[in-house]
Structure 1
Amino acid sequence: MDHSRATGAWATVVAVSPVKAVGFDLDETLFDHRGAADAGADAFAAHLGVDDASAFRAAWSAAEETEFERWRRGEISFAEQRRRRLVRVLRVFGLDVPADAAGLDAMFDRYLAMYRTHWRAFPEALEVLAALRRAELRIGVLTNGAEVQQKEKLSIIGLADAVDIVCTSEGIGVQKPDARAFDALAERLGVVPGECLFVGDNPLHDVEGARSAGMRALRIARDAPAPNDLTAVLDAAGVLR
Structure 2
Amino acid sequence: MKVISFDLDGTIADSSFADAFWEEEVPALYARKNQLSIDEAWRIVKRSYEEVGSEDIRWYQPEYWFNLFDLDEDVTEVLRRVKDRVNLFSDALEVIEALYQKYDLIIISNAPREFIEIELEGIEDYFSASFSCTSDFGVVKKSGDAYLRVCSKIGVAPGDVLHLGDNPIFDYEVPRSIGMRALLIDRTNDHGGSGLKDMREILRMEPFSKDLKVKR
Scaled by the length of structure 2, the TM-score of the pair is: 0.70
Q: How many residues align?
A: 196
Partner SS for 1:121:
coil
Partner SS for 1:152:
helix
Q: Report the alpha carbon displacement of residue 222 of structure 1 after superposing the two structures with TM.
A: 1.7
The aligned residue for residue 198 of structure 1 is: 163
Q: Is 2:5–2:162's contact at 8 Å kept on the other side of the alignment?
A: yes
The aligned residue for residue 17 of structure 2 is: 36
Counterpart mapping for 1:42-81 below 5 A: 50=38, 63=49, 67-71=53-57, 78-79=61-62
User: How many angstroms apart in 1 are the aligned matches of 2:98 and 2:75?
Assistant: 38
User: How many angstroms apart in 2 are the aligned matches of 1:45 and 1:65?
Assistant: 16
Q: Is 2:54–2:140's contact at 8 Å kept on the other side of the alignment?
A: no
User: How many angstroms apart in 2 are the aligned matches of 1:203 and 1:173?
Assistant: 22
Task: Choose 181-190 or 34-43, whichever is displaced more.
Answer: 34-43
2:202 equivalent to 1:233: yes
User: How many angstroms apart in 2 are the aligned matches of 1:114 and 1:68?
Assistant: 25
Aligned partner of 2:131 among 164, 167, 170: 167
Letter in 1 for 2:90: P
1:106-155: CA deviation from partner (whole Å, max 9, x where unpaired): 49889645543311221222221111121x21111111232233223212
User: How many angstroms apart in 2 are the aligned matches of 1:236 and 1:180?
Assistant: 29
Q: Is 2:76–2:114's contact at 8 Å kept on the other side of the alignment?
A: no
2:95 equivalent to 1:128: yes
| CA 1:107–1:142: 2 relative to 1, 3 Å | closer
Scaled by the length of structure 1, the TM-score of the pair is: 0.64
Counterpart mapping for 1:211-230 below 5 A: 211-224=176-189, 226=193, 228-230=197-199
Partner SS for 1:197:
strand
1:69-100: CA deviation from partner (whole Å, max 9, x where unpaired): 322xxx667246635xxxxxxxxxxxxxxxx7
Q: Unpaired runs of 5+ in structure 2?
A: 32-36
Q: Unpaired runs of 5+ in structure 1?
A: 1-18, 84-99
Letter in 2 for 1:165: A
Partner SS for 1:26:
coil
User: How many angstroms apart in 1 are the aligned matches of 2:50 and 2:82?
Assistant: 13
Q: Is 1:201–1:221's contact at 8 Å kept on the other side of the alignment?
A: yes
Q: Report the alpha carbon displacement of residue 239 of structure 1 after superposing the two structures with TM.
A: 0.9
State the Cα RMSD in Å: 3.7
Q: Report the alpha carbon displacement of residue 161 of structure 1 after superposing the two structures with TM.
A: 0.4
Q: Report the alpha carbon displacement of residue 203 of structure 1 after superposing the two structures with TM.
A: 1.6
The aligned residue for residue 21 of structure 1 is: 3
Q: Is 1:139–1:163's contact at 8 Å kept on the other side of the alignment?
A: yes
| CA 1:189–1:223: 2 relative to 1, 3 Å | same
